[in-house]
Amino acid sequence: MNKHEIFRFIDHTLLKQNAVWEQIREICQEGMDFGTASVCIPPSFVKQAAEFVGERLPICTVIGFPNGYQTTAVKVFEAAEAVQNGAAEIDMVINIGWAKAKSYDAILQEINAVKDACGEKRLKVIIETCLLTEEEKIALCDVVSRSRAEFIKTSTGFAGGGATLADIRLFKKYVTGDTKIKAAGGIKSVADAEAFLAAGAERLGSSSLLAMLRQEIKQ
């Protein structure tokens, strides 16, 4: 794959707790300049960012982030407000405790409730792979595949681990239907990005990949 083509797979991300508008505006501008898939930003900046980019770039935000243990009603409200404020994509965190308890029907119902709030906007489901066993990951591949969400996503980047190639290959083996895969966290180089895409990821969540790509293209 031509390195220039990787930009269109990137959710250019800034989710640090101390992020300020000037930084959000900068990554929005970079996203527009380089044609990234989206920018992924905190919910409190969605309205301002959407007004800044207009129709030039999809705005993605996070729901139930980063721990996933908010109630379903709270996640539904967050998603609906984000869409109202201009978000085109929503990345939600599942309730990890429910996964540990094998309450997969509850997780499925919550995903679909959030999807109802998203309407036609794209929904990605973060399962936080670093906290799960392989059995749990496989079960959640089935849950997300049976839901109306468009993507299964590996990680928040806030739980001590990120995407691995093994997880992407596992997802690729066990997701069904039209479910797509997003790798997030742990993308440390352009070579990593290429490997994740080759393994089956269709989105890459990263705060540093765009800069690394720019540097490699310059060389």
CA distances from 144 to 104, 108, 126, 180 (A): 10, 7, 10, 10
The active-site residue, picked from 115, 124, 137, 153, is 153
Left if phi > 0, otherwise alpha if psi is -120 to 50, otherwise beta: which for 140?
alpha
Selection from 196, 65, 52 nearest residue 124 by Cα: 65
Could you confirm whether 180 is annotated as catalytic? no
Contacts of 94 (CB under 8 A, 6+ apart): 64, 68, 107, 110, 111, 125, 126, 127, 128, 140
Could you confirm whether 3 is annotated as catalytic? no
Are 204 and 193 contacting, i.e. CB atoms less than 8 angstroms apart?
Answer: yes
The active-site residue, picked from 75, 124, 182, 192, is 182
Could you confirm whether 142 is annotated as catalytic? no
The active-site residue, picked from 91, 115, 137, 167, is 91
Are 114 and 74 contacting, i.e. CB atoms less than 8 angstroms apart?
Answer: no
Known catalytic residues are 91, 153, 182
